Amino acid sequence: MDSVILELSHSIKRVDTHPLQRVLYSQDLLKIPKFLERFVKHPICVVQPESDEEVRAVLKISRKYGIPVVPRGAATSAYGGAVTIKPCIVVDFTRMRKIEIAGKKAVVESGAVWLDVEKELNRHGLALRVYPSSAPAGTVGGWIAQGGYGIGSLKYGGIGKNIEWLEVADFDGIKKVGGDELKNYVGLFGTTGLILRACLKLRDNVRIDSVAIKTDFAKSIDLLDGAYHGVFVNRELAKMLGFNEADLLLLSYEGEAEKEGDKELGSRMWENRFNLFRAGREREVVFTEAILPYETAPDFLSTVDIPVEAVFTKDNVVFLGFIPVGNYYRAALKAIKFIKIAEKFGGRTYATGMLFPHKGLADYAGSYKKAIDPDSLLNPGKAVEGNSFSRMIKLAEMIV
Amino acid sequence: MNLREIATKCSKCGYCMTCPTYRIEGWETVSPRGKIQLALKYLNGDIEIDQKVAKDIFKCSVCGLCQEVCPVGIPLIDFWEELRRELVQKGMAPLSVHRKLREITFRNYNPYSGDQERRGEWADFEIKPAKTLYFAGCTASFRLQNLAKSTASALNKLGIDFTIAGKNEYCCGSPFLRTGQKDIVEKLFEKNFRYWQRAGIERIITSCPGCYRTLSLDYPKIAEEKGYEFDIEVIHTVTILDKFGVFEKADIAAKATYHDPCHLGRHMGMYEEPRNIIKKLGIDFVEMERNREQALCCGAGGGLRSQFPEISFEIGRQRVLEAMETGAKYLITCCPFCEYHLSKSAEKLGNKIKVVDLVEIAEKLISP
């Protein structure tokens, strides 16, 4: 390993091999129980590239020595995508965060934080179409690599639909991909290439006007027309977040609100759109997520008895469940059960990462991965490949 | 405070990575999230902390921005101070410069090596006994004496009967509380408190937010631990000026902005009083993008400037640039430590903006 480190240190300015740095860069938001920690392998080092050339150099060394690379943004996902399960080089993109705005498009480097991008765009009269609810910390590359939906997805769809093109690095070099090819990168957790930058589609920075409406979930669906962003919060979660103790629908519009509702509460809910973690203020919670079609979403929700947020998107409904932790393992099983119930209603897990590659969401990309990365050095054991964690979850699924 | 229990609450969301020091250094060992995770592992006995990581833990101005943005409400200011105390107890701190400042303060009762006998020399008026004490603090006593003079003059103009302690005023201990060195603070507390008792002090006014925080939040706790009754009201000058000040309009045509000192803002929740005074003075005022609870630190506090000047001046540079972006010609603050550091940072940027203390402006304009 010494020669790998030596070579990396010659090619890249920022390399750290400190044992405790390696401990920190072996984990992400996912809480790993003590008995499973043995499946986590500390990286041999962490690198923070500042240019395409440095990324190229890391990949060259990775291939030369057969040592995997694990790309990392802010590590704010709970799917274990940035967890290191083999000795590897962690490629932390937070030093690549340039934002360039041209016309109504922005070319943004992988490590830029979503909220920083939004603030910069706002200075130019522009705004992001979609961004994650973890925008104060989450990075552009991180969210694209996970895929999914967020603020604004009701009008504009998922992140995949709001990218013009991506620049990605693999063992053959750097390439620009767009259109149908994006599916080989969005949601694949960097298993087919490292995302360097994205050209994002934007909207004009029209003022967002929000209203909150007390209503049940089924009726909420009929009220979504014309809204930019729509979220249903059940009364249990509303209470945890400090809103009224009632089932609430938040509707946010680009421009004047088109529906009648409580503007003060709507504005408060909108201002707090990044504050879902507040649900864990009083008591630790475990998060669980599932995506359901609109048709079966009401029936799914009626079977769920935990605090829930439902994000309405152009394509489907994303449910985020909050399971208060008494016993961690029981809560984890409940989280798995949440997804299993969703599957019964025609739904699926939200993302793959390290936890759910066995769900087959990314199976379509298996042959692409093999062609690009035959030795499985790009974030191995994630998205398209199984690992010890996913096998344990598969077992647990049989129990629940 | 149970450090372990508090650290367990961290959800690892990363919102605290807005930390100004982390944004410069970029490594997780410097991020609040990373430090909390390491503290947890250390307290669980899973890891040993070495000197490198101990140093990283001190790369923080204890500005409290992490506490402000933490969605699960971890009391991070207290957490950092307690964690630093733990490192001192385990022999991994104080760091070299912090240790040196402690030695100087043991000798001189201030970290500037100032002659304690001459501490009150800035006072150009007759000192009479009173129940209200103006506590100038080390920076105004030895570095920015104009601030001490202006504050005294303002109090006089407002008809407040006050005294000063002169050579009987000792460092409040703020820099040492922030760097985990509580033993020296206890000694300084004893010196100050005994004098206040002897002099029959009932109220303390201070122009330094660091002293203000320490005397009003930390001293009562130390007093309680020692079994003393601490029945002294502590007030910052801006509260007095806001409450009692009637001002003539400032003859400043240029625009001004305001920097929230961390010890006055996030530590003590005082945001509006200085702004009210600025408004009363009729100054053409513009806010910086990051203000009040979200304000960027000046970079000097928590022992950062003394131990890690490069990081500290980079934060100072960013703050001055943010002030310059508003188009302001004056950067107003009401903390001598911020004023001193931001002035030096502005100097490095070609003095395109002048850093001034609010009390110094307001004092000149108090209506007779």
Inspect the interface and report whether the beta carbons of B71 and A276 lie closer than 8 Å. Answer: yes
pLDDT at B205: 98
- Chain B: closest CA distance from residue A56 (Å): 21
Among A28, A275, A284, the residue with its CB nearest the CB of B71 is A275
From first to last of its 368 residues, what are the pLDDT tens digits of chain B?
A: 799 999 999 999 999 999 999 999 999 999 999 999 999 999 999 999 999 999 999 999 999 999 999 999 999 999 999 999 999 999 999 999 999 999 999 999 999 999 999 999 999 999 999 999 999 999 999 999 999 999 999 999 999 999 999 999 999 999 999 999 999 999 999 999 999 999 999 999 999 999 999 999 999 999 999 999 999 999 999 999 999 999 998 887 789 999 999 999 999 999 999 999 999 999 999 999 999 999 999 999 999 999 999 999 999 999 999 999 999 999 999 999 999 999 999 999 999 999 999 999 999 999 87
Cβ contact, residue pair B12, A27, below 8 Å: yes
Instruction: Determine the pLDDT at residue B48.
Output: 96
Cβ atoms of B70 and A137 within 8 Å: the answer is no
Interface confidence (ipTM) of the complex:
0.96
Residue A147 distance to chain B (closest CA, Å): 18
What is the SS3 assignment for A38? helix
Average pLDDT, chain A: 97
Answer whether residue A54 is part of any domain.
yes
Q: Is residue A300 part of a domain?
A: yes
Q: Which of residues 35-54 of B touch A (CB under 8 A)?
A: 37-38, 41, 47, 49-50, 52-53
Q: What confidence tens digit (pLDDT) does each residue in B245-263 have?
A: 999 988 877 899 999 999 9
Best B10, B28, B72 member to test A by mutation, with max A CBs in 10 Å, is B28
pLDDT of A8: 98
Cβ pair A74:B26 closer than 8 A: no
**Do the Cβ atoms of B53 and A134 come within 8 Å?**
no
Q: What's phi and psi for A189, nearest 5 deg? A: 55, 35
| Range B118-126, long-range pairs (CB < 8 A, 24+ positions) | B118/B167, B119/B166, B119/B167, B119/B169, B120/B164, B120/B165, B120/B166, B120/B167, B120/B169, B122/B148, B122/B149, B123/B148, B123/B149, B123/B152, B123/B164, B123/B166, B124/B149, B125/B152, B125/B156
The answer to whether residue A360 is domain-embedded is: no
What is the pLDDT at residue B80? 98
Please report, as a single letter, which amino acid is at residue B175.
P
- Close Cβ partners of A202 (under 8 Å, ≥ 6 residues apart): A104, A105, A106, A121, A126, A127, A128, A129
Structural domain of residue A53, as residue ranges? 2-93
Check A48 against B26: CB less than 8 A apart. Answer: yes
Q: Is the pLDDT of residue A399 over 90?
A: no
Question: Residue A354 falls within a domain, yes or no?
Answer: no
Contact between chains at A20 and B27 (C-beta distance less than 8 A): no
Q: What is the pTM (predicted TM-score) of this model? A: 0.96
Which chain B residue is nearest to residue A272, measuring alpha carbons? Answer: B71
Report CB contact under 8 Å: A137, B14.
Answer: yes
Q: What is the CATH number of the domain that holds A313?
A: 3.40.462.10
Q: For residue A85, which phi and psi values (nearest 5 degrees)?
A: -115, 5
Contacts of B27 in chain A (CB under 8 A): 16, 21, 46, 48
Q: What is the mean pLDDT of residues A140-148?
A: 97
**Rounded distance, CA A107 to CA B340, Å?**
40
Is residue A184 scored above 90 in pLDDT? yes
CB half-sphere exposure, B361, CA atoms < 13 A: 25
CB contacts, 8 Å: B49 with chain A: 20
Residue that is last in its domain, among A93, A128, A154: A93
Question: Cβ contact (<8 Å) for A95 and B26?
Answer: yes
Q: How much is the average pLDDT of A275-298?
A: 95
For residue A28, the chain B residues in CB contact (below 8 A) are 12
Least trusted range by pLDDT, from A172-181, A263-272, A277-286: A277-286
A23 and B38 in contact by Cβ < 8 A?
Answer: yes
Domain tally, chain A? 2
A339, two tokens: 């997804």
Residue at a domain's end among A93, A114, A148:
A93
Residues A63 and B147: their CA atoms lie apart, in Å, by 63
Strands (DSSP E) contained in A181-325 are: 194-204, 208-214, 229-233, 248-254, 285-292, 308-312, 317-324
Question: For B15, which of A46, A48, A136 is closest by C-beta distance?
Answer: A136
Helix (H) or strand (E) holding B163: strand B163-164
Of B34, B52, B72, the CB nearest to A277: B72
CATH number, domain containing residue A88: 3.30.43.10
Q: Do A94 and B53 touch (CB under 8 A)?
A: no
Q: Which residues of B touch A277 (CB under 8 A)?
A: 11, 13, 15, 71-72
Architecture per CATH, domain B246-364, reads as 3-Layer(aba) Sandwich (3.40)
pLDDT (0 to 100) of residue A116: 98
Fold of B96-241: Rossmann fold (3.40.50)
Identify the domain boundary among A69, A93, A117: A93
Determine the Cα–Cα distance for residues A355 and A368; give it in Å rounded to an integer. Answer: 21
Place of tokens 């603050």: B333
At CA A289, angle to CA A285 and CA A293, rounded to 5? 150
Rounded mean pLDDT, A41-70: 98
- Quick check: A1 pLDDT over 90? no
- B324, B316 contact by CB (below 8 A): no
A284 vs B: CB within 8 A: yes
C-alpha B119/C-alpha B168 separation (Å) is: 8
**Residue A41 to residues A29, A196, B253, Cα–Cα distance (Å):** 16, 25, 63
Residue ranges of the domains in chain B? 3-89, 96-241, 246-364
Q: Which pLDDT score is estimated for B251?
A: 81
Contact B212, B236 (CB under 8 A): yes
Classify residue A271: in a domain, yes or no: yes
In this complex, which of B17, B26, B47 lies closest to A137 when CB atoms are compared?
B17
Determine contact: A77 vs chain B, CB below 8 A: no
A226 — contact with chain B (CB < 8 Å)? Answer: no
d(CA A360, CA A339): 14
pLDDT digits (tens, 9 = 90+) for A337-387: 999 999 999 999 999 999 999 999 999 999 999 999 999 999 999 999 999
